[in-house]
Structure 1
Amino acid sequence: MQRLTILLSLLFLLSTSTTFTRGHNITRILGKHPSFSTFNHYLTLTHLAGEINSRTTITICAVDNAAMSELLSKHPSIATVKNILSLHVLLDYFGTKKLHQIREGTALAATMFQATGSAPGSTGFVNITDVKGGKVAFGPEDNEGNLDVFYVKSLEEIPYNISVIQISKVLPSDVAAAPTPEPSAMNITDIMSAHGCKVFADTLIANPEASKTYQDNVDGGLTVFCPLDDPFKAFFPKFKNLTASGKVSFLEFFGVPIYQSLAMLKSNNGIMNTLATDGQKKFDFTVQNDGEDVTLKTRSITAKIVGTLIDEQPLAIYTIDKVLLPKELFKAAPTPAPAPAPEKEVADAPKSSKHKKPSSDVVPSDSPADSPDGDVADQTADDNASVTLYGGRLVAMVLSLCSGLLLL
């Protein structure tokens, strides 16, 4: 009996040495409920599904096909539909139990509409109130306090991760339902100029060919990564030295001819073509996650997305903290030759009394300070290997002990 207890303990240790996590997929969740197929379809069409899947601690207030038909009968643009549906995505977890146990009977929840920056003031918040008779009512902040939308039922709950509930009808909001300008009517340089990218925008305006390329691609989908003013000002002297065609290619390099939300960028890491890509002239960069951040990499520069100016399909404009340098126009700095290794002293050689002490200001070439990441590559490799080896030894040790106990 004692051996069995030890064996079970060891097996428990082995089973808990690795943890597994599972993300959610709103498309699959709603796919189990045919009466919500229209709502599900428009979450995908507006790219909100990707945004939802990239978040945790979230609540989706879904409406059935009849409610969606009423909304669509007004023929809103796809951008307006996105605003309305983003108001139905609460950035907090509200399961059935929590809805009926709201402190002081009411709560104010931020929504994805508020997070986009498209909602002025607090119009992107939703009031949730536990009313008499066990009902829970919902109402946007710009609805003059009217609470005429009610909780119907829970569709699926993954506690504290995602809750998908049905509400009785579409949340009424004049702000979210307001007509949005057609993409071609948007002035992308005005948007950039008003939000910290004026130097880049002015440079683009001054180049009619590149400017036209941007504007021609808006309707079909366009993502722009505009450098902030300070880094672009510092770079501008180099820009002026480019040839005329080089200037066009350089400016077009910051645009991508498809719409990419931030969630899509996070889930679609890899090489991305640009407006400047043309056959042998690749003019591409690599999108890569860095924790919660999204970075853009060329051979010599890594820039980080630091802000969102607009994200309304089919147009997204993000700010980046550095100026990307395409390898087709800028050569990467040559790697410095390694310093010669110091000559080894002969063990029995007499030491001169006039031997100079090395200056404390000189840093050896193999010092960790020379590593771009602050770590010596060999040391990092050894550390990683030791972790892997330790895990392997743990499993081997547990299995060996189990085998030994069974043979006793």
Structure 2
Amino acid sequence: MATTPVSLILLSLFFSLSLHAQAQAPKAPAPAPSGPVNLTAILEKGGQFGTLIQLLNKTQTFNQIENQLNSSSEGMTIFAPTDNAFSNLKSGSLNGLTQQEQVQLLQYHMLSKFYTVNNLLLVSNPVPTQASGKDGVWGLNFTGQSNQLNVSSGMVEVQVNNALRKEFPLAVYPVDKVLLPEELFGVKPPTASPPAPATKETSSGKSSPKEAAAEPSSGKNSAGGRKVALGLVVGLGLVCMGILS
């Protein structure tokens, strides 16, 4: 029985030493949160997207992309035209666009959802772009099979190349042609000629006084005709009376 208190003391001492050792042991560092997606760095690393970077900066579309990536749970998909794609455009194509139209052109290359190549092979066409709205459909069509994917704007069709990035929330696919939307670059319908001015009428449905003055009065003509006929009859009567007398 005398050994029981000693055992309790030793057990308490061992327990205290264990707690002290755990407190002194260094804690494993928590995993660092993933930083924001840097689209500029992705394009610069690709090495052939200088014109696209300039347009994104000029139109401040970079800000829109960052805001969406930070606020949306759907992610985003971007089709990035290469420098050669822009240089192959008809001369003046970009300079002929207003600032707002340049923004719409860039938004036409963006989908408001993260898509893999396999996802895009299964979508229902046309897929709305970020340029879609009250000004038109602004959709893209995707066709292909296996790992080959083509994207078409209706005016331009191009194969989608290997992704610059394909991790959620952002997928970036290079394209060798600028996707031209019909809403901006399609043939505009001819402007309709204005309709011919209608004849003015008064509230009673009759012609205006000027028009009435220009028209001959049928009433006056008929009255004048009756006077002439009466005069002929009277004259003829007088002649007959002279002969008889």
| Partner in structure 1 of residue 152 of structure 2 | 297
**Alignment of structure 1 residues 1-400 onto 2, 5 Å:** 181-182=34-35, 185-195=36-46, 196-208=48-60, 210-219=61-70, 220=72, 221-235=75-89, 237-289=92-144, 292-331=147-186
Tell me which amino acid in the other structure corresponds to 1:230. N
Q: State the Cα distance separating 1:291 from its structure 2 match.
A: 5.6
Tell me which amino acid in the other structure corresponds to 1:285. L
- Classify 1:180/1:294 alpha carbon distance in 2 versus 1 (closer, same or farther; 3 Å): farther
- Classify 1:295/1:333 alpha carbon distance in 2 versus 1 (closer, same or farther; 3 Å): farther
The alignment's TM-score, normalised by the length of structure 2, stands at 0.57
Aligned mates of 2:175, 2:54 — CA distance in 1: 17
Q: State the Cα distance separating 1:225 from its structure 2 match.
A: 0.4
Q: Is the 8 A contact 1:200 1:229 kept in 2?
A: yes
* Larger relative contact order (CA 8 Å, sep ≥ 6): 2
Q: Is the 8 A contact 2:42 2:164 kept in 1?
A: yes
Q: State the Cα distance separating 1:333 from its structure 2 match.
A: 10
- Classify 1:310/1:193 alpha carbon distance in 2 versus 1 (closer, same or farther; 3 Å): same
The alignment's TM-score, normalised by the length of structure 1, stands at 0.35
Q: Deviations over 1:141-163 (max 9, x none)?
A: xxxxxxxxxxxxxxxxxxxxxxx
Q: Is the 8 A contact 1:222 1:258 kept in 2?
A: yes
Identity across matched positions, percent: 22
Q: State the Cα distance separating 1:193 from its structure 2 match.
A: 2.3
Tell me which amino acid in the other structure corresponds to 2:55. T
Q: Is the 8 A contact 1:197 1:319 kept in 2?
A: no
Q: Is the 8 A contact 1:296 1:302 kept in 2?
A: yes
Q: Is the 8 A contact 1:293 1:305 kept in 2?
A: yes
Q: State the Cα distance separating 1:258 from its structure 2 match.
A: 0.6
Q: Is the 8 A contact 1:213 1:275 kept in 2?
A: no
Tell me which amino acid in the other structure corresponds to 1:181. S
Tell me which amino acid in the other structure corresponds to 2:34. P
Q: Deviations over 1:63-101 (max 9, x none)?
A: xxxxxxxxxxx987xxxxxxxxxxxxxxxxxxxxxxxxx
Give secondary structure in 2 for the equivalent of 1:303: strand
Q: State the Cα distance separating 1:300 from its structure 2 match.
A: 1.2
Aligned mates of 1:216, 1:329 — CA distance in 2: 26
Aligned mates of 2:148, 2:102 — CA distance in 1: 29
Q: Is the 8 A contact 2:81 2:174 kept in 1?
A: yes
Tell me which amino acid in the other structure corresponds to 1:197. F
Q: Is the 8 A contact 2:121 2:145 kept in 1?
A: no
Aligned mates of 2:160, 2:30 — CA distance in 1: 34
Q: Is the 8 A contact 1:214 1:252 kept in 2?
A: no
Q: Is the 8 A contact 2:142 2:152 kept in 1?
A: yes
Give secondary structure in 1 for the equivalent of 2:161: strand
- Structure showing greater radius of gyration is 2
- Classify 1:333/1:293 alpha carbon distance in 2 versus 1 (closer, same or farther; 3 Å): farther
Aligned mates of 2:130, 2:66 — CA distance in 1: 11
Uncovered stretches (5+) of structure 1, i.e. residues with no partner: 1-73, 77-178, 335-408
Q: Is the 8 A contact 2:121 2:143 kept in 1?
A: yes
Give secondary structure in 2 for the equivalent of 1:237: coil
| Partner in structure 2 of residue 164 of structure 1 | none
Q: State the Cα distance separating 1:328 from its structure 2 match.
A: 0.8
Aligned residues: 156
Aligned mates of 2:135, 2:55 — CA distance in 1: 26
Aligned mates of 1:180, 1:197 — CA distance in 2: 29
Tell me which amino acid in the other structure corresponds to 2:149. V
Tell me which amino acid in the other structure corresponds to 2:105. F
Give secondary structure in 2 for the equivalent of 1:316: strand
Q: Is the 8 A contact 2:59 2:99 kept in 1?
A: no
Q: Deviations over 1:42-62 (max 9, x none)?
A: xxxxxxxxxxxxxxxxxxxxx
Aligned mates of 1:273, 1:259 — CA distance in 2: 13
Q: Is the 8 A contact 1:189 1:202 kept in 2?
A: no
